[in-house]
Amino acid sequence: MVTFVDQVQVHLQAGRGGNGCVSIRREKFKPLAGPDGGAGGNGGDVVLLADPQITTLLEYHRRPHRSAENGGFGAGDYRAGTTAPELILPVPVGTVVKNAAGETLADLAEPGTRFVAAKGGLGGLGNLALASNKRKAPGFALLGTEGTSGTFTLELKTIADVAFVGYPSAGKSSLIAAMSAAKPKIADYPFTTLHPNLGVVQAGEHRFTVADVPGLIEGASEGKGLGLDFLRHVERCSALLHVLDCATLEPGRDPISDLDIILEELGAYPVPAGQAPLLERPQVIALNKIDVPEARELADFVRPELESRGYRVFEISTVSHEGLRQLGFALAELVEAARAKQLAEATEQPKIVLQPKPVNESGFRIVTEGGSYGTIYRVLGAKPERWVEQTDFKNDEAVGYLADRLQKIGLEDALVKAGAVAGSTVVIGPGAGVVFDWEPTVTSAAEVQMGARGTDHRVDQSSRRTNVERRAEYTRMMDAKAEARAELAREREAGMWSEDS
């Protein structure tokens, strides 16, 4: 039965944004009082959260597919759609997030660190937000956009100050049980430990964490045994403790040969850029099982050679606890030195300066593609691709609005510079995208509608004259009367009629 998983592949899908609403407000004695359609809500994000209460990725091994909720649709009477909540996925502290190409996206090494793995889609605007002085009654709304999705690899790298490394059955689990309150599985057969165990050691005023890394054998750096599955748990440790078995009964094995093989495997394991190689980190040797008389003799024999190599050597017994106190204080010194060095390096790091985006950024680019059916002009960019996704192509007015937006960002001028002519094929977006037959200066069939785009004569039903209109009408009436009197005077002078007749 699987109880510990430190690497999984998950498929995450953010929520889709809700569509905007097309609605007209109705009031007493004024059934068409203007637009009141609300906007749709944003889709939910998928967030990975480093939680110290989580110790394994087992939950995502069983359920690798996770999806956030969609945003609510807008409604009339100015009601906006509900924004979907975030989907919080707790992961162990020390989880590294990688994309499908193997690139590292985030390192959740601190408790509470958040990483938005999939961004929720935007909610579409309702016709209320699209209304303006020139577009008093929009007959369309924007659609919600699709949330992002992707496949991610979650890789857990145990965070501990000291890593216990050594051959199988060297006594690493017994040592962590003797020095801390951890309760690892202990047995007299190889590869008893199938996952790293963490323990907290208190040495005087110093407290640090230790990790019992499963047994390494020759060829571990190439994947032999448990090799690569658990060597990555050594990456974050500040110091290494080599636990050497002085009471082994296997032929051809001794503490010196075991150490040489482990050092070779640690040196062959590649660490991420910016981290010190494993062999360049502080190392201490513990000669274990000296409670056995033959093992104590062997430990006394090999200790001078190990010390000549520059190692600090401690003879210990996990049964009688001999030498454990001295070993704990020695490890605490190494940990405190590593922490002080890390703190000094952190204070010397330069400040991060955020550069603003250029104000003249066009937001799109045009790629010319050749094909058997002629030249294709592909428009790529976050803005035009999002606008196309928000457009309801069944609504001519919405298509006209899209044409206006594309024209404002200079798309027509860019197409002309790229060599496009009337009738050229224009594709917006990657892949199949949305295909148009480009017609310059003609935005859509909505231009032939009665009145300007975005207006509705039914909404503007006010027949009350303004003061300016009253004055103009009075002036026209007085001018007409004066002209009539002048005409009568001319006819009388011409003898066409007289007052007597």
Q: Is 215 annotated as a binding residue?
A: yes
Q: Is 170 annotated as a binding residue?
A: yes
Bridge partners, 65 (sequence order): 11
For the beta carbon of residue 78, count every other beta carbon within 10 angstroms: 16
Bridge partners, 13 (sequence order): 67, 149
SS3 label, residue 53 = coil
Q: Is 34 annotated as a binding residue?
A: no
Q: Is 360 annotated as a binding residue?
A: no
Q: Is 61 annotated as a binding residue?
A: no
Q: Is 257 annotated as a binding residue?
A: no
Q: Is 169 annotated as a binding residue?
A: yes
Q: Is 194 annotated as a binding residue?
A: yes
155's enclosing H/E stretch is: strand 149-156
Q: Is 317 annotated as a binding residue?
A: yes
User: Tokens in use for 82?
Assistant: 């509900």
Q: Is 171 annotated as a binding residue?
A: yes
Quote the CA–CA distance of 443 and 403 in Å, as a whole number: 5
Residue listed under structure tokens 């050749």: 370
DSSP 24: B
Q: Is 323 annotated as a binding residue?
A: no
285's enclosing H/E stretch is: strand 283-288
Q: Which of 235, 349, 346, 315 has the alpha carbon at shortest distance from 281?
A: 235
Q: Is 191 annotated as a binding residue?
A: yes
Q: Is 213 annotated as a binding residue?
A: yes
Q: Is 308 annotated as a binding residue?
A: no
Q: Is 152 annotated as a binding residue?
A: no
Q: Is 195 annotated as a binding residue?
A: yes
DSSP3 helix / strand / coil % (the chain, rounded to 5): 30, 20, 50
Cα separation values, 453 from 31, 32, 36, 116, Å: 21, 18, 18, 40
Q: Is 139 annotated as a binding residue?
A: no
Quote the CA–CA distance of 450 and 401 in Å, as a whole number: 16
Q: Is 456 annotated as a binding residue?
A: no
Residue listed under structure tokens 């499963």: 214
Q: Is 301 annotated as a binding residue?
A: no
Q: Is 168 annotated as a binding residue?
A: yes
Q: Is 206 annotated as a binding residue?
A: no
Q: Is 31 annotated as a binding residue?
A: no
Q: Is 214 annotated as a binding residue?
A: yes
Q: Is 166 annotated as a binding residue?
A: yes
Binding positions for GTP are 166-173, 191-195, 212-215, 288-291, 317-319
Binding positions are 166-173, 191-195, 212-215, 288-291, 317-319
Binding positions for Mg(2+) are 173, 193
